[in-house]
Amino acid sequence: MAGGFVSQTPGVRNYNYKLTPKVFVTCFIGAFGGLIFGYDLGISGGVTSMEPFLEEFFPYVHKKMKNAHENEYCRFDSQLLTLFTSSLYVAALISSLFASTITRVFGRKWSMFLGGFTFFIGSAFNGFAQNIAMLLIGRILLGFGVGFANQSVPVYLSEMAPPNLRGAFNNGFQVAIIFGIVVATIINYFTAQMKGNIGWRISLGLACVPAVMIMIGALILPDTPNSLIERGYSEEAKKMLQSIRGTDEVDEEFQDLIDASEESKQVKHPWRNILLPRYRPQLIMTCFIPFFQQLTGINVITFYAPVLFQTLGFGSKASLLSAMVTGIIELLCTFVSVFTVDRFGRRVLFLQGGIQMLISQIAIGAMIGVKFGVAGTGNIGKGDANLIVALICIYVAGFAWSWGPLGWLVPSEISPLEIRSAAQAINVSVNMFFTFLVAQLFLTMLCHMKFGLFFFFAFFVVLMTIFIYLMLPETKNVPIEEMNRVWKAHWFWGRFIPDEAVNMGAAEMQQKSV
Ligand code: BGC
């Protein structure tokens, strides 16, 4: 395969590697893990705007929706309806906590397999649902699946990828998420036109397809060298490293992995350890990055775009079509990140994307405010409605090359092995918690905060952009096990990293700190 590379980052070690087909194929399959998450994100919004579905399970909301004279902002406000969407994320939150142990003890691939399996069972419950209980049990099972997959896939991709291309490979997860969303919106578009209950059943039931894809994918995937070493299979790990890096000269990288593993074995309590001062940057980042990612307000669009478009006066079909368009834009724009993240770095994308989202959110809020006012009555012309859709696309594009992929990439690449599973579990559970909150509260917030809701999210975009500017050092091209040097050089985080930590391992550090 293609010629060899040596990573060129000053101050950090350089490893040899070639881009092998094997690393591409395994990461491609690994990224399937994003499909189940994406399919679900995309399917719920459309299903909750389908009349037969509402009639069957939420007759009260259906009646309210039919009542055209009511306040537009409050058309869909129902806690039970939002519980349908959000229950999944509570389950994902809980499962990601114990998925971290499975990921560490049995390897990344078995976590993915389990994720696919529970998701599969959940899709059957939903597709055949006869009552709300079946619907909710299905959602919870799907949530368990998502928790397992989101815990293991980003770590899998970051560990498999050569350091210089880690950003691009890891972004495959986000590409798969958005692909799942787009496929779901296309399916919804067609099933919404079917008569009776068959449409929503197909939409929910087809979740079994990405589930089967991950299960099969997980069975054929090799485990990462890091995970093999962590579980005591050093010989296999070295062979794996040689085959994915396309060269026999992997001694330096292999030694770093062995050292990292030795150090991590001395650490008995990853959960307690992550609270030590020397891991403060990782702890803060793995809490704040997912929190901010959700406070961009992206899931207002992901879950409720069809509902939002109906609120804006679009017909049901036009709403689903517009949701499809925003999804396709998001997918295309995610590739901008894939191709630039390792060249321009994480910070540039975060900052540029933040500013773009901010401007478009303010414009959307202002336009809706002018058209519907505080009372939420009035009509919006075709031209204005199209302009709002265009602004939403600009906003989604900004998210697609910044907080979307980087919200998963950065937390998965900044933690040393001894705290990696715990850090990723925090990342997933914080993300799921705020996904749940936004999903649960959005329709009520829209009803009460009206167009001000867009300014509310814009405020957080300002905060997160300042946060990145001041607190996140650039991590592009830095091998994961060498990340301490980056923190040490940072104006703020440097004080938490003892000088020796840059060269010394966790075990020695821990002995020093007791
Ligand atoms: C986020 C999701 C979001 C999706 C698509 C992901 O990175 O975690 O909450 O729905 O991107 O926009």
Residue 454 CA to ligand 1 centre (angstroms): 18
Residue nearest to atom 6 of ligand 1 (CA): 404
Q: Which of 246, 256, 218, 172 is nearest to 23 (CA)?
A: 246
CA–centroid distance, residue 404 to ligand 1 (Å): 6
Query: Residue 503 has what pLDDT?
Result: 60
Per the CB < 8 A criterion, the answer to whether 286 and 411 are in contact is yes
Maximum C-alpha span of the chain:
72
What is the phi/psi pair of residue 238, to 5°? Answer: -65, -45
Which amino acid makes up residue 71? N
Exposed, middle or buried, 118 (CB in 10 Å: 0-12/13-18/19+)?
buried
Sign for the pseudo-dihedral over CA of 128, 133, 136, 138: negative
Which stretches within 246-344 are classed as H helix?
251-266, 270-273, 280-295, 298-311, 316-340
Distance 464 CA to ligand 1 centre (A): 16
**For ligand 1, is residue 319 a contact (CB within 6 Å)?**
no
**Cβ partners under 8 Å of residue 276, min gap 6:** 510, 513
Q: For residue 291, which of 411, 384, 398 has the smallest C-alpha distance?
A: 411
CA-proximal residue: ligand 1, atom 11 (nearest): 404
Give residue 172 CA to ligand 1 midpoint distance, Å.
13
**Cα–Cα distance for residue pair 482/278, rounded to 1 Å:** 14
- Name every residue whose Cβ is closer than 8 Å to that of residue 293 and which is 6 or more positions away in sequence: 403, 404, 407, 431, 434
Dihedral over Cα of 281, 287, 290, 291: its sign: negative
Q: How many helices (H) and strands (E) does the chain have?
A: 24, 2
| CB of residue 171 inside a 6 A radius of ligand 1 | no
d(CA 363, CA 376): 18
Is 302 near ligand 1, meaning CB less than 6 Å away? yes
Q: What is the pLDDT along the chain (514 residues), one digit of tens a residue?
A: 333 444 444 455 667 788 888 888 888 888 888 999 999 988 987 888 788 998 998 888 777 777 655 566 676 667 777 788 888 899 999 998 888 888 888 888 888 899 999 999 999 999 999 998 999 999 999 999 999 998 888 888 888 888 888 889 889 999 999 999 999 989 998 999 998 899 999 999 999 999 999 999 999 888 899 889 988 899 999 999 998 898 998 888 898 888 878 877 776 677 888 999 999 999 999 999 999 999 999 988 887 777 677 777 777 777 778 888 888 999 999 999 999 999 999 999 999 999 999 999 999 999 888 877 766 666 677 788 888 889 999 999 999 999 999 999 999 899 887 888 889 889 999 999 999 998 888 778 878 887 888 999 999 999 999 999 999 999 998 988 788 889 999 999 999 999 877 764 444 444 443 3
Q: What pLDDT is stored for residue 5 in this prediction?
A: 46
Which residue is closest in CA terms to ligand 1's atom 3? Answer: 299
- Tokens 């055949």 appear where? 128
* Atom 10, ligand 1: residue with shortest CA distance: 299
Please state, in angstroms and rounded to a whole number, the distance separating the CA atoms of residues 298 and 296: 5
Q: How far is the CA of 506 from the centre of ligand 1 (A)?
A: 33
The Cα–Cα gap between 208 and 192 comes to 19
**Cα 25 to chain center, whole Å?**
21
Any atom of ligand 1 within 6 Å of the Cβ of 33: no
Pocket test for ligand 1, best of 39, 157, 177 (most atoms within 8 A of CB): 177
Bridge-partner residues for 17, per DSSP? 5
Index of the ligand 1 atom closest to the CA of residue 407: 7
Tokens matching residue 473:
């050092």
Residue located nearest, by CA, to atom 7 of ligand 1 = 404
Can you give the pLDDT at residue 349? 98
C-alpha of residue 299 to centroid of ligand 1, in Å? 7
Tokens 């919004």: give the residue. Answer: 45
393 CB near ligand 1 (under 6 Å): no
Q: Is the dihedral of CA 343, 347, 350, 355 positive or negative?
A: negative
Half-sphere exposure of 17 (CA within 13 A, CB side): 26
Please choose from 178, 299, 431 the residue to mutate so as to test ligand 1's pocket, defined by most ligand atoms within 8 A of CB.
299
